[in-house]
Amino acid sequence: MVIAEDLFRAALHLTAPWYISSINFAEGERKLDIWVDFPKGSRFPCPECNNLDCEVHDTTTRTWRHLDFFEHQTFLHGRIPRIICPNCGVRQAKVPWARERSGFTLLMEALIVFFAQTMQISQISEKLHIKDKRIWRVVSHYVEEALIKADFSDVKSIGLDETSRRKGHEYITVFADINTGRIIFICKGKDASTLSAFSKDLKEHNGSPEQIKDICCDMSPAFIKGITDEFPLSSIIFDKFHVIKLFNEAVDEVRRLEQLINRILKNTRYIWLKNPSSLTKKQLTELGGLKDMNLKTVRAYNIKLGLQEFWKFEDREAAEAYFKKWYYWATHSKLPAIVKAAKNLKKHWDGIISYFDNRFSNGLLEGLNSMIQSLKANARGYRNDENFITMIYLRQGQLKLVLPT
Ligand SMILES: [Zn+2]
């Protein structure tokens, strides 16, 4: 079997003193076992001070799962030496095929992370017959390594949004670089402290709060307070996506109240929340029938469509003049929820009109939001918020993953 041993030694990138001592191919069990070893008297480098010539103190036998070999699960077995270093004392030597404490070879880890970029962890678990907990551990390791090295020195504009893994679960706040769409920071909670956590993280990655010119978010008082405290030089922009979302809640309130006395509105919730262009044919027909009726909900809906026009203006002055007219319309609608929402918008006017000073915000937070929504579709598979956060970074962090080759 000399040829097979040479082949596997090359495939595993083994160099002296490591060699393959035996191979066992269990056809029936679909299993391949490879034993690696080193000759008596071999010396190893110290993992701490790189003293090259350390004697072996003792060994422990370990097993690592390797890449499948033609649908045979492949395991590597070997003795890991503990060495005696004259400078550092007894230390565990590094082996060239695996990370310390990992039960996988480096190549197997590379494959796992490669799969995780497009597949669900549960699918990988099934495909490779590995418990998902172990897969998450590998993926988090490489994501964390890449995050440590991330550089935020050129980030100037931030969009932030809150979300949760599942309804009723703890909130997390996600920070994205608006110019690149890269998610650069995620933390638990949705209060003002998320901004101080972000400020700290920015400093740890060659950045500083002073370099952030704009922050784009919803009208939550907690975010506004956090930005004012931690990023006093940044301007705040309330983006279209969040403004419309807030206004949609008012439209929905009008519909809910009216539905109590007018059953025709039953099951029409989504028709009023979406734009006509994103409705199905059936919904459009339904909307067409309802729009001609004298309904409060129709009035509220038209005011919402009117608000959307605001972002289509070319310049700030024209938009401002339009908003004044819209505001009169909304506040004279005799629809309490709409009046309240319009007044709330006026209170946040500076942040809303700021859009016309840079115009980048539209679409980005909405895009991020829908991406996170699609990740949430697999919420059950995440088991905890840490895994959910790892997955958002992996898919949207534009990480420079350093994978073994
Ligand atoms: Zn040493």
Residue 405 Cα to ligand 1 midpoint, Å, equals: 27
What integer pLDDT is reported at residue 6 of this predicted model? 80
Neighbours of 87 (CB within 10 A): 11
Residue 327 Cα to ligand 1 midpoint, Å, equals: 73
How many whole angstroms separate alpha carbon 12 and alpha carbon 6? Answer: 10
Sign of CA dihedral 44, 49, 50, 53: negative
Give percent above pLDDT 70 in the chain.
98
Residue 255 Cα to ligand 1 midpoint, Å, equals: 73
Coil, strand or helix: which one is 45?
A: coil
Question: Which stretches of 254-318 are assigned E, i.e. beta strand?
Answer: none
Residue 193 Cα to ligand 1 midpoint, Å, equals: 42
Residue 45 burial by Cβ neighbours in a 10 Å radius (0-12, 13-18, 19+)? middle
Residue 404 Cα to ligand 1 midpoint, Å, equals: 25
Residue 57 Cα to ligand 1 midpoint, Å, equals: 13
Band of pLDDT at residue 360, cut at 50, 70 and 90: low
Coil, strand or helix: which one is 399?
A: coil
Q: Return the closest-CA partner of residue 319 out of 330, 310, 329.
A: 310
Residue 88 Cα to ligand 1 midpoint, Å, equals: 4
Compute the C-alpha angle 140/141/145, nearest 5°. Answer: 115
Residue 37 Cα to ligand 1 midpoint, Å, equals: 22
Band of pLDDT at residue 340, cut at 50, 70 and 90: very high
Residue 103 Cα to ligand 1 midpoint, Å, equals: 25
What integer pLDDT is reported at residue 328 of this predicted model? 97
Residue 76 Cα to ligand 1 midpoint, Å, equals: 27
Q: Does position 2 have pLDDT exceeding 70, yes or no?
A: no
How many whole angstroms separate alpha carbon 395 and alpha carbon 178? Answer: 16
Residue 71 Cα to ligand 1 midpoint, Å, equals: 41
Residue 78 Cα to ligand 1 midpoint, Å, equals: 23
The whole-number average pLDDT for the span 109-122 is 94
Residue 85 Cα to ligand 1 midpoint, Å, equals: 5
Residue 101 Cα to ligand 1 midpoint, Å, equals: 19
How many whole angstroms separate alpha carbon 227 and alpha carbon 220? Answer: 11
Residue 69 Cα to ligand 1 midpoint, Å, equals: 37
Task: Report helix angle 336-347 to 316-331, nearest 10.
Answer: 150
Residue 46 Cα to ligand 1 midpoint, Å, equals: 5
Residue 100 Cα to ligand 1 midpoint, Å, equals: 16
**Assigned token pair, 129:** 């017959």
The whole-number average pLDDT for the span 262-269 is 88
What integer pLDDT is reported at residue 356 of this predicted model? 87
Residue 45 Cα to ligand 1 midpoint, Å, equals: 8
Rg for the chain, CA atoms, rounded = 29
Cβ contacts of residue 254 below 8 Å, gap of 6+?
296, 297, 299, 300, 335, 337, 338
Please answer whether residues 242 and 218 qualify as being in contact, where contact means their C-beta atoms are separated by less than 8 angstroms: yes
What integer pLDDT is reported at residue 363 of this predicted model? 72
Please answer whether residues 287 and 271 qualify as being in contact, where contact means their C-beta atoms are separated by less than 8 angstroms: yes
The whole-number average pLDDT for the span 99-108 is 93
DSSP-derived secondary structure letter, 93 = P
What integer pLDDT is reported at residue 361 of this predicted model? 56
For 92-128, give one letter per residue: b (16+ CB within 10 A) or e. Answer: bbebebbbeebbbbbbbbbbbbebbeeebbeebbeeb
Please answer whether residues 74 and 66 qualify as being in contact, where contact means their C-beta atoms are separated by less than 8 angstroms: yes
Q: Does position 214 have pLDDT exceeding 60, yes or no?
A: yes
Residue 54 Cα to ligand 1 midpoint, Å, equals: 8
Q: Which range has the worst mean pLDDT, 5-19, 228-242, 307-321? A: 5-19
Q: Which range has the worst mean pLDDT, 12-21, 54-63, 215-224, 370-379? A: 370-379
The whole-number average pLDDT for the span 277-302 is 90
**Assigned token pair, 77:** 């077995």
Residue with the bigger pLDDT between 227 and 368: it is 227
Band of pLDDT at residue 79, cut at 50, 70 and 90: very high
Q: Does position 234 have pLDDT exceeding 80, yes or no?
A: yes
Q: Does position 28 have pLDDT exceeding 90, yes or no?
A: no
Please answer whether residues 42 and 78 qualify as being in contact, where contact means their C-beta atoms are separated by less than 8 angstroms: no
How many whole angstroms separate alpha carbon 313 and alpha carbon 320? Answer: 9
Cβ contacts of residue 318 below 8 Å, gap of 6+?
none
Residue 146 Cα to ligand 1 midpoint, Å, equals: 27
Residue 105 Cα to ligand 1 midpoint, Å, equals: 25
What integer pLDDT is reported at residue 1 of this predicted model? 46
